[in-house]
């Protein structure tokens, strides 16, 4: 278990840390929170096999932050987003955004365009995902006839999100809001794939979060990054096996190789990563950013 002390940012109070990101609130000289804003900071930490690795991936936080900002713009005609400013403390420049504080909806909005992971497990058991019947004969990595909404609960820190039926979303937020987030989540993944596929990347699935600004639904958190979505190299897509991960494959291959000396089933934390694995992984994050946006990444 890694438990890094979060950064001390003058003018900000640390509120919460996820596995790889930290949340702060701007505070005045009196120590009171100000202005209905939050600072969302992406670290260079990376998770694999449910562990946060002790070795950071240089620039990962900045690459994912810049990618998410780019996607928010690509999606702006579908849904407004929470980003207010990228004018942030120098210590987190490039890897933090100031966002509007919203009333977050208590559901994780997941959409799947390809079948794998938890969706595949559910399909093998029941022939359906999130209660939606699917055709027979689908395998790991199959493209779904159309993207499906497979919501989950927001688990407390350290626990895994649990899939819930669509009716559970209706019970939490009401019929109209449920239909709205379902349709938007699916459209976000569809738009993402229209763009990404042309650039050699498949977005298998994604998780988005929404909040409310009064009555208005707003897209929050990060969007269509490798941490919130499964990125697959399109040219290696081959249904019927586990697909290689665009970003994590070098890490997984090394951790499960004899060279690492690590036994995944031991319960022990994974060892630190060799320099070449770190550099190859950093290069994949940068490559994803540059392919998708068509822009050079600058740290």
Does 16 interact with ligand PZK (rule: CB under 6 A)? yes
Contact 207, 219 (CB under 8 A): no
Distance of closest approach, residue 133 Cβ to ligand PZK, in angstroms: 33
d(CA 46, CA 254): 14
Contact 210, 105 (CB under 8 A): yes
Which range binds ligand PZK by CB under 6 A, 99-107, 141-149, 155-163, 175-183?
99-107
d(CA 226, CA 258): 27
- State which of residues 45, 60, 81, 82 lies at the interface with ligand PZK (CB under 6 A): 82
> Residue count at the site for ligand PZK (CB under 6 A)?
17
Distance of closest approach, residue 33 Cβ to ligand PZK, in angstroms: 12
Does 99 interact with ligand PZK (rule: CB under 6 A)? yes
Contact 225, 42 (CB under 8 A): no
- State which of residues 40, 92, 195, 202 lies at the interface with ligand PZK (CB under 6 A): 40
- State which of residues 25, 53, 62, 102 lies at the interface with ligand PZK (CB under 6 A): 102
Contact pattern for ligand PZK over residues 42 through 81, marking x by CB under 6 A: ----------------------------------------
Does 22 interact with ligand PZK (rule: CB under 6 A)? yes
Indicate the SS3 state at residue 233.
strand
Smaller CB separation from ligand PZK, 38 or 278: 38
d(CA 152, CA 106): 9
> Which residues make beta-bridge pairs with 132?
129
Does 18 interact with ligand PZK (rule: CB under 6 A)? yes
d(CA 97, CA 289): 17
What is the Cα 187 distance to its own chain's centre? 16
Smaller CB separation from ligand PZK, 54 or 100: 100
Smaller CB separation from ligand PZK, 82 or 282: 82
Residues 6+ apart with CB under 8 A from 160: none
- State which of residues 25, 38, 92, 105 lies at the interface with ligand PZK (CB under 6 A): 38
Site for ligand PZK in 205-224 (CB under 6 A): 211, 220-221
Q: Which residue of this chain has its Cβ atom nearest to ligand PZK in the complex?
A: 21
Does 98 interact with ligand PZK (rule: CB under 6 A)? no
Smaller CB separation from ligand PZK, 63 or 102: 102
Smaller CB separation from ligand PZK, 63 or 129: 63
Smaller CB separation from ligand PZK, 23 or 132: 23
Binding residues vs ligand PZK (CB under 6 A): 16-18, 21-23, 38, 40, 82, 99-102, 104, 211, 220-221
């Amino acid at each position: 278990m890694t438990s890094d002390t979060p950064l001390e940012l003058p003018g900000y109070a640390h509120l919460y840390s996820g596995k790889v990101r930290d949340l702060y609130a701007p505070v005045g000289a009196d120590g009171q929170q100000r202005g209905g804003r939050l600072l969302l900071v992406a670290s260079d930490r990376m998770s694999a096999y449910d562990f946060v690795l002790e070795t950071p991936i240089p620039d990962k936080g900045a690459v994912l932050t810049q990618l998410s900002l780019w996607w928010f713009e690509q999606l702006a005609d579908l849904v407004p987003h929470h980003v207010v400013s990228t004018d942030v403390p120098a210590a987190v420049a490039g890897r933090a955004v100031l966002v509007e504080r919203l009333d977050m909806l208590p559901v994780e909005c997941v959409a799947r365009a390809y079948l794998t992971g938890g969706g595949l497990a559910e399909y093998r058991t029941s022939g359906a995902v999130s209660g939606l019947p699917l055709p027979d004969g689908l395998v790991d990595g199959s493209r779904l006839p159309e993207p499906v909404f497979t919501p989950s609960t927001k688990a407390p820190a350290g626990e895994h999100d649990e899939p819930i039926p669509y009716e559970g979303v209706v019970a939490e937020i009401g019929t109209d809001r449920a239909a709205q987030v379902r349709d938007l989540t699916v459209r976000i993944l569809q738009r993402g794939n229209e763009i990404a596929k042309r650039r050699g990347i498949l977005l298998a699935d994604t998780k988005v979060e929404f909040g409310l600004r009064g009555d208005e639904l707003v897209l929050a958190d990060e969007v269509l990054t490798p941490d919130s979505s499964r990125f697959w190299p399109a040219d290696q897509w081959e249904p019927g096996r586990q697909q290689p991960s665009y970003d994590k494959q070098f890490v997984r291959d090394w951790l499960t190789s004899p060279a690492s000396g690590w036994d995944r089933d031991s319960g022990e934390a994974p060892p630190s990563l060799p320099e070449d694995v770190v550099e190859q992984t950093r290069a994949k994050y940068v490559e994803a950013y540059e392919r998708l946006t068509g822009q050079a990444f600058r740290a």
